[in-house]
A = this chain, B = another copy of it.
Amino acid sequence: MRCDQKFYLHAWHHIEKRNTMRSNLNLLFNPEGVAVIGASNNPAKVGGMTLLSIVSGGFKGEIYPINQREEEIFGFRAYKNVKDVPRKIDLAVICVPASSVKDVLRECVEKGVKFGVIISSGFGEAGGEGRALEREAVKIANDGGMRIVGPNCMGMANSDIKLYALMNMLIPKEGKVSIVSQSGTLGSLTMALASDQGVGFNKFASSGNEADLHAEDFIEYFAQDPKTEVILVFIEGLRDGRKFLKVANEATGNKPLVILKGGITEEGAKAASSHTGSMAGSAPIYEAAFKQTGVIRAFDGEDLIDLAKGFALLPLPKGRRVGMVSAWGGIAVLASDSCARHGLKFPELSKDAMEKLDNLLPPFWSRRNPIDITSAGIYGSWEIFIETTELLLRDDGIDAVICMIPIFTPIFTSAFSRTTQYKDYTENVLQFTEEMEREFMKDFIRLRGYGKPLIVLSFFEGRESESVKTLEENGIPVYRTPEKAAHVLSMLAKYKEYLTDLDVKSR
């Protein structure tokens, strides 16, 4: 560690600590009864959409809509007050206007509610009076033994019990990634977009203004949670630097912790301050803290999804030696640039591998790694793609494989819509391509069995493509550009190196 980093970390230990209780969040994520306070029959209202999210998501536990005027909401009996509910309530999701929140919390405390998720805004982020209101509300809750998520947040989720208390109904695919995000939108969109790319989610917390529970508390909980295998975090600023160092260290020893930090420039920090009221803090402090604790750092929202996909779907590589298969020389050139930039190597092929490839491929193949099998891969048999990829996966000198598969169906569909003649022929080509691709993907996905990271490159990532869907649903991530593939692979390798280093130190 460099000297200036030590200095920053020392400074960090003196950042104000507002809460040192070790938080048990079990009842937040596994409540026996859930009240939605401010529930509505109108899905265009926050309290309507949040309740609809819970019920349409399939929550099997008890749901209690609270509304002063309605008798029934979405078929559930509504209560005028949380205290009128005859049974136990562990969690209250609060959607009433900020001015009513203190009263609601007093009632929750009387009822014995353990956790409140305050979706309502108009608190700390609004400045002045909002800040005072926020402090008072948290005091009422904490004094009554109740902990608060938010305010000014988008909710929480736990797929174990199909509880999706979200103000936006963006119900994700189930899986093993858990998220805490200071921006509810960013967290929700990450889950929604990644769900279409083969990534499933376990738990989610939108921590909002973090008036009580902080991102650090959720990281701590996810670190110990056996259902969580990858942790994603979006933060603008941390409240408790010392706790972060501790919980990040705990997490990264067992599972990858991927963090996107907003507000790393002066401009960004100013915007963060008006958003969640957080102090974004000095970029070098965060850099030092992330480096020391083995945190994987995401560059932006898209990178967060790319990394989630890589860590959720792929095993860690043993090292940085990459093999590549492509039918297109230009892509191999760009991939070489990208891998070099990210510290990955394209090692030379062994004599044995060269001989096998000479037998397999047309005479004008590249005769080096990255392997350009030339248009033989498109006009010839697609089997040579699979055989070449398999050859690399079996090679002891190769730690990970990138394969650029020519997925043409979505682009043919689009391009052929612009043809004006010979539609019957173009439709035949499209149908032939679709069938060929479908057969190919079926064969290709078994290559996952080699236990090495296998990445597919295709410009159609994120588009409507049956082939891309098949690959990702079967654990083979697809990236749009060589740069993305190389970046993700290098982050997997870096985390592997961090773990190896920990292992050596602990001996």
Binding site for B on A (CB under 8 A): 43-46, 49, 52, 55-58, 74, 121-122, 125-126, 130, 162, 169-173, 181-186, 189, 192-193, 195-196, 234, 236, 262-268, 270-272, 274-276, 299-302, 328-341, 346, 363-364, 366-368, 370, 372, 374-375, 379, 411-412, 414-416, 418-423, 425-426, 428-429, 432, 459, 462-464, 480-483
Q: Is there contact, CB below 8 Å, between A481 and B263?
A: no
Residues of B within 8 A of A189 (CB): 411, 459
CA distance A483 to B262 in the complex (A): 12
CB-contact partner of A169 in B162, B195, B426, under 8 A: B426
Q: Name the residue in A192, A299, A329, A421 with the highest tally of chain B Cβ atoms < 10 Å from its Cβ.
A: A329
CB-contact partner of A196 in B302, B367, B414, B422, under 8 A: B414
Shortest beta-carbon distance, A410 to chain B, in Å? 9
Q: Which of B333, B341, B432 contacts A44 (CB 8 A)?
A: B432
Residues of chain B with a CB closer than 8 A to A267's CB: 336-337, 339-340, 346
* Selected contact of A234 from candidates B57, B330, B368, CB within 8 Å: B330
A364-B126, A411-B170, A414-B192 known; A270-B336 Cβ under 8 A: yes
A236 and B333 in contact (CB under 8 A), knowing A370-B271, A421-B58? yes
Closest chain-B Cβ to A100's Cβ sits at a distance in Å of 16
Complex: how many Å from CA A270 to CA B339?
A: 13
Write out the residue numbers on chain B whose beta carbons fall within 8 Å of the beta carbon of A263. 333, 336-337
One complex includes copies of this chain to the number of 2
Q: A378: shortest Cβ distance to chain B, in Å?
A: 8
Would you give the shortest CB distance from A405 to chain B, in whole angstroms?
13
Cβ A412 vs Cβ B169 within 8 A: yes
Cα–Cα, bound, A438→B101 (Å): 36
Q: What's the least CB distance linking A173 to chain B, in Å?
A: 7
Q: What are 23 A-B residue pairs whose CB atoms fall within 8 Å in the complex?
A: A46-B375, A56-B420, A56-B421, A56-B422, A58-B419, A130-B364, A169-B415, A169-B426, A171-B416, A185-B331, A189-B411, A192-B415, A236-B330, A262-B333, A268-B340, A270-B336, A271-B335, A271-B366, A274-B368, A274-B372, A300-B481, A462-B462, A463-B464
A481: which B residues are within 8 A, CB to CB? 300-302
Chain B residues within an 8 Å CB radius of A379 = 44-46
Q: A171-B419, A336-B270, A419-B171 are in contact. Are A121 and B374 (CB under 8 A)?
A: yes
Contact of A264 among B58, B173, B337 (CB under 8 A): B337
> Which residue in chain B gives the minimum CB-CB distance to A74?
B422
Partner of A193, one of B43, B130, B411: B411
Q: Give which listed residue, B170, B268, B331, contacts A333 with CB less than 8 A.
A: B268
Give A238 Cβ to nearest chain B Cβ, in Å. 14
A183 to chain B, nearest CB (A): 2
> In the assembly, what is the distance between CA of A110 and CA of B234, in Å?
69
Q: Which of B121, B130, B265, B337 contacts A336 (CB 8 A)?
A: B265
